[in-house]
Structure formats: structure tokens, C-alpha cells
Amino acid sequence: MNDKEFIKNEKVPMTKEEIRYVTMGYLDITSKKNILDVGSGTGTISIEALMQNPNILVTAIENDDKAYATTLMNIESFEQRYGNIQNRIKLLKEKAPCELDVEFDAVFIGGSKGNVKEIIDWAGNLLEKNGTMVLNFITLENFYDTLKAIEENQNLTDIKGCQLSVNKLENLARYKYLKPLNPVFVISCKKI
């Protein structure tokens, strides 16, 4: 889906459309039934999952007030335009890790507030056997901490990853140029 479909808040990071495409592929979203979105931000991952898979249920967690409000606005906007959104998503104003009484076949972690190991261990416990966890980060520290945490977790295996650099075609007076976006690390693993 085009980024223009979403309500944005300049103080809330948004997973850009090209990054969402790769993330959805790593999640194998069309085969999933129940996904946890940790650090929903603007809600783009949750909504993209709901739009790509009409049978999926989403639990989204966000503790930042502005991000929570932006996710909620996007849920309402997509419900009005497309329907079949609000009844399939539960948005929680929580900080991960938090108490959840359900297992998921997919987990997406888009924010950790510097608490990546604890969140990976918690999310790993919420994953069903053979479930997929995908994490997106922009900092080298989070990339390193994520790899280390997954490798130390004896229930997670099959680590894959990539670093994406996207350049978007933009106008510059009478010229066109490629405007670079922040590089993003995408890491995935499976629960054994």
C-alpha cells in the first residue's frame, strides 16, 4: 500500500512502504492467522497485514501517546474506507513486555525502547511452535543486540536478515533525483 494512504505524525516513525513489502514477505503474512505488532508506531504494519490477509487477527501494542493516537486514527480511517478492520485488531496502550494470554503465529517488533533482549525473550514465549518473528531496526546497536539475543535464546532458530537502503524518485526543479531514506535492518527467526 502506498504511504499516502496513511495518516502521519512527524513525531512518530513510520515503516515505509518498501520496507513493509519485505517485512510482510519475511512474516509470510498471507499464511498467518494471529500476529502481534510490538511498537505499532503509525500502525502501518498492522494495517498492511489486515489488508493483505482478510482472515488475520492483529494485536498491536504501543505505549507512546502520539503513536497510539496515530495508530488509532489509521485504524478508524481504514475502517471507514475499506471496512473489516476494527473487528480484527486489538490496540493496547501498553509497554512491552506486558501480560497477554494468547499465542501468535507471527510477531513483528518495530520498537524496543532499548529493551530488545527482554522483548525478544517475551515475544518468543508468545510464539507458537514454528512461528515467525520479524524485527526492524535502524541502529547498529539494535541490530547487534537483536542478533545476540536471538542466538542466546534456545527456542529461536533460522536467523535471516538483510539491510535495506531505499532511494525514492523525487522532483528537484526540472530534474529527477533519488532521495535516500534511512537504511533499515530486517531480521527474522523461527520458534522451534
Closest C-alpha among 153, 165, 88 to residue 126: 153
DSSP state of 98: -
DSSP state of 181: P
The pTM for the full model equals 0.95
Please state at what angle helix 17-27 crosses helix 44-52, rounded to 10 degrees: 60
**Is the pLDDT confidence value at 112 over 90?**
no
Dihedral, CA of residue 6, residue 11, residue 13 and residue 17, to nearest 10? 30
Residue-range definition of the domain harbouring residue 33:
3-191
Q: At 183, is the pLDDT very low, low, confident or very high (cuts 50, 70, 90)?
A: very high
Cell of 137: 531496526
Q: What is the CATH number of the domain that holds 119?
A: 3.40.50.150
Three-state SS for 150?
A: helix
pLDDT in tens, 118-132: 999 999 999 999 999
List Cβ neighbours of 171 (8 Å cut-off, separation of 6 or more).
none
Q: At 147, is the pLDDT very low, low, confident or very high (cuts 50, 70, 90)?
A: very high
In total, how many domains does the chain have?
Answer: 1
Q: What is the mean pLDDT of the chain?
A: 96
Please state at what angle helix 65-82 crosses helix 44-52, rounded to 10 degrees: 20
